Structure 1
């Protein structure tokens, strides 16, 4: 694994498993992830120094209330939520998770932490999508070479189960910053600016705008600059605010029980040299009027482009 991970510091994990049964395998996973540039928040690798009440305790945990030890461990999951590179990894040879790790799995799932496993669980009825099982070596290699966590894959005969699981696990509120990326083409007739649209699987292979979720404690403008850079390689500046609205309910992508708010801006760039990441498959530059007429725009993007055309571009 000689390839350096892209933006290594953004990847962090918590390793779970039975310290009593699988401590050596947990230490090996810790070593593999650390060597790949993935920050392991917990456990901190020390030796097991005591067994109390059926639980293995690490150095410094002797004599502490096991409930306190477990809650302090679980607090590391909150740190995983700051950014998009956090995940939980379950070391479960022969499918064995155990009582403490089962509790941790439930907390991780309901707090929307991506979970990966050494093997499919045999002692737990948890739902796993079919891209959840990875050895530490293969998962670390994927992160290093692609600079992202594996995407969920859904078995055809488990779509209903996945939908039920997704409705349970998604956060109650999501704020997304989006940008109408504009390039003022001096050669364009009448000085009409061109807008960037990307075609993506996320929106059913329809065209949309660049944008994404705002991270915890992140400013909207910083989130938009980050998303534009990550998805297109372009640098630029946040300009006029276009609109703020709830996701359109009949858009075909609406998910009940989630407050999904879009905050969209004009984002001006001085170059058209786009370098797409894996989130989009194609892109096109064209004026707003032409895009509204000719492109298959997903409804939320169409709403923003219409407002841009009538309220911003006309001024």
Structure 2
């Protein structure tokens, strides 16, 4: 229940019904509850801005809200209320109200009706048909319960998105696909998809990466973050866990499954600053994953994952420069790398095929953590 001062609480109510046909009756019921000290969570009691949409739009609704977003927000208000009151003059229950009632009854919430409802495929106990004033009195006398049987559970589909990074021609690149179907058909996106029965998140990420890009191989997938904003996917409530994969020398890719095409694309800040560049919230996912990779370079030996099996310290430095977006002093960098125990191990081989003095080749050492860490320069100079 909604809390007031001290230990006193006041019930909260969500009112449903045909706002298009019976908004006057809905407002009257809301007035009765408000004057009795109840909290009316839905609908908003402000002016109607657009009554010709699938869902009536009130002035308090976001100016660019879709019908799906309005319905989703309405459900949040309904499910967080202590009880639901259905305003149904003449017993009328519209299509939207029937749908809402189905969701409400699944959650075991207390529901009361202004009049006996017609054409509902459920049993409605006689003591749940009561006027707004009668319901206020009964709740005050505690002869009926306003509290729901159980609190709502949010049903969401689990999904994965994969950010796979590599260095190509000295630039940090990310693997993107062109979506082959709606929503966002033809738009660039990260590879990913829904979990299948019995799959772990890691298994789903590996499968989706292979299905959508035809990339074969074993990638070490690191969880970055779970993205769960209710409006992040127009298909419904979908919660996605983002994975970061880092690899060197990856070949060209081609689309498969529901991806029309797959390409390596140079990473730049417009990918997350321009919401039109990538589908869904993939700009935000990419930004967070790139920042995660930059932090990993400071404290772990993950930079070697971007290098071939044998590499020079200059190759390693170019990885840091590409990902951090800074120029590093070659002499200082080489000294620091050599001072970190276990980061790189000499192969006692020299790099062939280049002019000048041959560079010494190294391989990755056994260390996983950098001690001391290599911290990004505070004064960033673009590479």
Give the TM-score range, shorter chain: 0.3 to 0.5
Per the normalisation by structure 1, the TM-score is 0.42
- Structure with the greater alpha carbon radius of gyration: 2
Structure (1/2) with the larger helix percentage? 1
Per the normalisation by structure 2, the TM-score is 0.35
